[in-house]
Amino acid sequence: MNSSLDTLKLLSDPTRLRLLALLMKEELSVAELQEILGMAQSRISSQLAQLRQAGFVADRREGKKAFYSLRAGLPPRQLALLKAAGEAVTDAPEFSEDRDNLDHILQKRRRVAEQYFTLIAGRLGKGYCPGRSWEAIGHLALRFVPPIVVADLGAGEGLISQLIAHRAERVWCIDNSPRMVEVGTELARKNGLANLAYKLGDIENVPLPDKSVDLAILSQALHHASHPQAAVDEAFRILRPGGQLTVLDLKEHAFERARELYADVWLGFKESILHGFLKKAGFQHVEVNIVSRETVEPCFETLLASGIKGGR
């Protein structure tokens, strides 16, 4: 596809335009595109083949499934034409219906992921394997942390941050307990972690500048916040564009004694509520999944939520 005229000719077909509008938003399988568009596989595959031949879309295989996405690195002029064409028909009934169906597909993906984590949560740790433990797995995973700036909000003594600091460029631990800050600072000094610093502060009013970190972590801290939305908003504020927030917290439960035993303000959160906190703050690509279920009463469940800060 060498000219803008060729691009416009390609976009003159409504089906190809609908496909491109969807793939500009999300990578999708042929089966998902069938469900969204309500068209036969042969018709969709034929149009995708033309888009791929023209260099607009890329495909990858995952087992028996083929996934399609907008090709990375499209020339600016072609990309601008695609976006303009998509915006020009955004109010057309079929394109509006496509967006609704896409949302349904993405929700279905999240439900499948949740069911998967629910299933394995009850099985993890039941079979013995020499040398396998969550502690060991955690150490392994944290070895892959890139050289980024991290903020551990409501860090406590900073167990996670102590591990992350071995690879990160800089780690800030924020906690509202002077004693926690004192203990954590001493641990960092004892372990020779000069890039790990503790600050006294509240997760609802984080003592860090705007757009100053690449990763913000709220690990079992949000249910201690008086205003959880404010804490998530603060995480968004301090993140650079493209930065990520990761939240590990309890799913909503009815164990009232947690308020006196653990000073919990909230008895966990519903998945939809946690999802809403991140979306309202402005995060994109928000995901919330159950990742752990305790088998001993009161059988706490743990949610893992994440979101990306868009923009430049």
The Cα angle at residue 78 between residues 38 and 87, in degrees rounded to 5 = 50
pLDDT one-digit tens code per residue, 104-147: 888 887 777 666 545 544 454 455 445 545 556 566 666 667 88
Residue labelled with tokens 């909503």:
252
Contact 284, 308 (CB under 8 A): yes
How many percent of the chain have pLDDT more than 90?
A: 39
Instruction: Give the closest residue to 233 by CA, choosing from 251, 214, 216, 250.
Output: 216
pLDDT one-digit tens code per residue, 285-298: 999 999 888 888 89
CA distance 62 to 40: 21
> Residue 128: its pLDDT value, please?
44
- Across the chain, mean pLDDT equals 85
Task: Give yes or no for residue 60 having a pLDDT over 90.
Answer: no
Spatial CB neighbours of 212, under 8 Å, sequence gap ≥ 6: 149, 238, 240
Task: Give yes or no for residue 78 having a pLDDT over 50.
Answer: yes
SS3 269: strand
Beta strands 213-219; 196-200: pairing state: unpaired
126-309 CATH fold: Rossmann fold (3.40.50)
> Residue 3: its pLDDT value, please?
67
Sheet holding 28-29, edge to edge: 28-29, 65-70, 57-62
Domain range annotation of the chain: 4-120, 126-309
Q: CATH second-level architecture of 4-120?
A: Orthogonal Bundle (1.10)
Tell me if the pTM is above 0.75: no
Contact 295, 230 (CB under 8 A): no
Give the Cβ contact number of residue 158 at 10 Å.
Answer: 26
The mean-pLDDT minimum among 41-55, 235-249, 271-285 falls in 41-55
| Residue 176 token pair | 């509202």
Residue labelled with tokens 């944290």:
142
Most confident of 10-14, 177-181, 283-287: 283-287
Same fold, 4-120 and 126-309: no
Task: Give yes or no for residue 21 having a pLDDT over 80.
Answer: yes
Contact 270, 244 (CB under 8 A): no
How many percent of the chain have pLDDT more than 70?
A: 88
pLDDT one-digit tens code per residue, 257-309: 888 888 888 999 999 999 999 999 999 999 999 988 888 889 999 999 999 99
Instruction: Give the closest residue to 309 by CA, choosing from 205, 203, 237.
Output: 237
